[in-house]
């Protein structure tokens, strides 16, 4: 009886020891007598003691491979260093286990050779400005090459491009010259705009002054015209009144004499009077007074 209990206890211990629970996003590769048997997914599984073993525990999560800088030579014979970052994940645990001995080392070496081949067809300027193109080409090539290994390349990024020191200095000088050129252009455009605004302001000022002078002359001319019109109207009214009054020749001559007197304005020393006016009686004394004045 005791022996049976011991046997039962041993069986229970063996069974418990061979129960395996595969976590989420993981896979176990199982071998039976040294040959591939199955791939366990997430859940509980039982392994046959001694006959079966877990050959590999693989995570199915996306992984990141950050490789050190690799020396590459561009088409125009410029040596630089480029380090890459690769995002990949295992899609077939069996191929990943049996397809290659050291997958990470294989991916690193494949990345370095692919990068050299792509950069070798590009010049320095193209390399610095074509990161997206290089990333796309590398991802396509690596994804095709790693497919037999059960690996899918999701993304490739050029993390850093390190050109030689001399090239970096030349690029910095070029960038500085470009910034100075843009600054000069902006300053010249600002000065040009300022000069244009000043010229427009002066032109408008001249136009306004000329318009003001023209308006002033128009007003003066209108005032003079109104004054002349008033004088002519007054003269016409005066003549009309004289005609209506029917003055005698003597009155007309006396008015003419008054007009001569007004013309003299007290400054004349000598006045020549027509003979018609001299004949008027009683005008001699008036003429004498005018001469004295």
**Torsion sign, CA atoms 109, 115, 120, 125:** negative
* pLDDT, tens digit, 9 for 90 and up, residues 10-43: 878 888 888 889 999 999 999 999 899 999 999 9
* pLDDT, tens digit, 9 for 90 and up, residues 214-256: 888 888 888 888 878 877 777 677 667 766 665 556 555 656 5
The torsion angles phi and psi of 102, rounded to 5 degrees, stand at -125, 90
Q: What is the pTM of this model?
A: 0.57
Query: 3-state SS string over the chain?
Result: CHHHHHHHHHHHHHHHHCEEEECCCEEEEEEECCEEEEEECCEEEECCCCCEEEEEEEECCCEEEECCCEEEECCCCCEEEEEEEEEEEECCHHHHHHCCCCHHHHHHHHHHHHHHHHHCCCCHHHHHHCHHHHHHHHHHHHHHHHHHHCEEEEEEEEEEEECCHHHHHHHHHHHHHHHHHHHHHHHHHHHHHHHHHHHHHHHHHHHHHHHHHHHHHHHHHHHHHHHHHHHHHHHHHHHHHHHHHCCCHHHHHHHHHHHHHHHHCCCCCCCCCCHHHHCCCCCHHHHHHHHHC
| CATH match for 63-163 among 3.30.479.30, 2.60.120.330, 3.40.50.300, 3.30.200.20 | 3.30.479.30
Reply yes or no on whether the pLDDT at 260 is more than 70.
Answer: no
The more confidently predicted of residues 210 and 275 is 210
Question: String of b and e for 121-143 (b: at least 16 CB within 10 Å)?
Answer: ebebeebeebeeebbebbbebbe
The torsion angles phi and psi of 230, rounded to 5 degrees, stand at -65, -40
The torsion angles phi and psi of 155, rounded to 5 degrees, stand at -160, 145
Task: Tell me which residue of 143, 152, 79 sits closest to 111, measured CA to CA.
Answer: 143
What end-to-end distance do the CA atoms of the chain give, in Å?
Answer: 178
The pLDDT value recorded for residue 180 is 84
Measured CA to CA, the distance from residue 148 to residue 113 in angstroms comes to: 18
The pLDDT value recorded for residue 248 is 59
* pLDDT, tens digit, 9 for 90 and up, residues 36-46: 999 999 999 99
* pLDDT, tens digit, 9 for 90 and up, residues 114-136: 999 999 888 888 888 888 899 99
The pLDDT value recorded for residue 113 is 92
């Amino acid at each position: 009886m005791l022996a049976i209990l011991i046997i039962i206890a041993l069986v229970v211990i063996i069974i418990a020891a061979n129960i395996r629970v595969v976590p989420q996003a993981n896979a176990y590769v199982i071998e039976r007598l040294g040959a591939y048997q199955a791939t366990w997914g997430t859940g509980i599984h039982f392994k046959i003691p001694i006959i079966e073993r877990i050959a590999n525990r693989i995570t199915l999560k996306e992984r990141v491979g950050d490789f050190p800088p690799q020396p590459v030579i561009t088409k125009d014979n410029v040596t630089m260093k480029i380090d890459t970052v690769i995002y990949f994940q295992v899609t077939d645990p069996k191929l990943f286990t049996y397809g290659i001995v050291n997958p990470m080392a294989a991916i690193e070496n494949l990345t370095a050779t692919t990068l050299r081949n792509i950069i070798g067809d590009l010049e320095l300027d193209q390399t610095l400005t074509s990161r997206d193109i290089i990333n796309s080409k590398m991802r396509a090539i690596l994804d095709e090459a790693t497919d037999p290994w059960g690996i899918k390349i999701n993304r490739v990024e050029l993390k850093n491009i390190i050109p030689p020191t001399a090239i970096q200095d030349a690029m910095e000088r070029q960038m500085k010259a470009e910034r100075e050129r843009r600054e000069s252009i902006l300053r010249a455009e600002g000065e040009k705009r300022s000069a244009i605004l000043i010229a427009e302001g002066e032109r408008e000022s001249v136009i306004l002054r000329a318009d003001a002078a023209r308006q002033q002359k128009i007003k003066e001319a209108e005032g003079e015209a109104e004054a002349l019109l008033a004088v002519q109207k007054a003269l016409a009214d005066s003549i009309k009144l004289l005609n209506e009054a029917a003055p005698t020749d003597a009155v007309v001559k006396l008015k003419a004499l008054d007009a001569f007197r007004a013309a003299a304005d007290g400054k004349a020393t000598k006045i020549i009077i027509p003979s018609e006016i001299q004949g008027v009686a009683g005008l001699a004394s008036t003429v004498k007074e005018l001469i004295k004045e």
